[in-house]
Chains A and B, each alone.
Chain A
Amino acid sequence: MKIALFIPCLVNQMMPHVGIATVELLEKLGHQVILPKGQTCCGQPMTNSGCFDEAKKTTLKLLNAFKGVECDAIVCPAASCLVAAKENFHEFDTSPEAQAVIDKLYELTEFLHDVAPIKAFNKPFNHKISLQLSCHGIRMLDLATPSEQMGPRTNKVEAVLKAIPSIEIVYPGRYDECCGFGGTFAVDEGAVSAKMGKDKAQAHAETGAKYAVGFDPSCLLHLDGMMRRQKLPIETLHIAQVINAAL
Chain B
Amino acid sequence: MSTNHTSGAGSAVHAKKAEIFCKDEARVDWHSKALWMLREKRDRAASSIPEWEQLRELGSQLKLHTLTHLDQYLEEFEKNCLANGIQVHWAKDGIEHNQIVHKILADKQVKKLVKSKSMLTEECHLNPYLESHGIEVIDTDLGERIIQLAEQPPSHIVVPAIHMKKEEVGELFHDKLGTKAGAADPLYLTRAARAHLREKFLSADAAMTGVNMAIADKGTVVVCTNEGNADMGANLPKLQLHSMGIDKIVPDLDSAAVILRTLARNATGQPVTTYSSFYRGPQTDGEMHIIIVDNGRTDMLQDKILAESLKCIRCGGCLNTCPVYRRSGGYSYNYTIPGPIGIAVGAQNDDTNSIPWACTLCGSCSYVCPTKVPLDKIIHHHRRLKAKAGKLPYGKRSYMPLVGNFMASETMLNCSMSVARTALRILPGAMLKPFSGAWGKYRELPIAPKSSFETWFNKNRGQ
Contact = CB atoms under 8 A, between A and B. Distances in A.
B435 interface: no
Contacts of B323: 177-178, 180, 196
A107 interface: no
Contacts of B441: 190, 194
Interface in A22-52: 23, 33-35, 37-38, 40-41, 43, 45-46, 48-52
Nearest to B447: A224
A13 to B, nearest CB: 4
Interface in B216-247: none
Interface string B8-22: 000000110011001
Contacts, number: 230
B403 A46 contact: yes
B324 A34 contact: no
A14 interface: yes
A102 interface: no
Given A48-B380, A180-B360, A189-B14, A54 B404 contact: yes
Contacts of B359: 182, 185
A177 B441 CA distance: 23
A62 B280 CA distance: 61
B407 A192 contact: no
B47 to A, nearest CB: 5
Nearest to B437: A187
A140 interface: yes
B450 to A, nearest CB: 9
Contact of B387 (A19, A52, A187): A52
Contacts of B358: 189, 192
A225 B364 contact: no
A197 interface: yes
Contacts of B14: 189
Nearest to B409: A40
Contacts of A9: 407, 413
Contacts of A222: 443
Given A49-B392, A51-B404, A148-B368, A192 B324 contact: yes
Contact of A150 (B47, B380, B386, B446): B47
Chain A interface size, under 10 / 10 to 19 / 20 to 34 / 35 or more: 35 or more
A10 to B, nearest CB: 10
Chain B interface size, under 10 / 10 to 19 / 20 to 34 / 35 or more: 35 or more
A54 B366 CA distance: 27
B23 to A, nearest CB: 8
Contacts of A53: 387, 404
A176 B364 CA distance: 9
B444 A225 contact: yes
Interface of B: 14-15, 18-19, 22, 25, 28, 32, 36, 43, 46-47, 49, 52-53, 321, 323-324, 327-328, 356-364, 366-368, 380, 382-388, 392-393, 395-396, 400-401, 403-405, 407-410, 413, 417, 420-421, 437-439, 441-449, 451-457, 461, 463
Counting from the closest, the 7 A-B pairs by CB-CB distance are: A190-B438, A54-B404, A225-B443, A182-B360, A50-B383, A194-B442, A50-B387
Given A14-B446, A41-B407, A49-B392, 7 more contacts: A13-B420, A35-B457, A38-B410, A135-B361, A189-B324, A198-B442, A224-B447
16 contacts: A7-B453, A12-B454, A14-B446, A35-B461, A45-B407, A48-B383, A61-B408, A139-B364, A150-B52, A177-B364, A178-B323, A180-B360, A185-B357, A189-B358, A193-B360, A228-B443
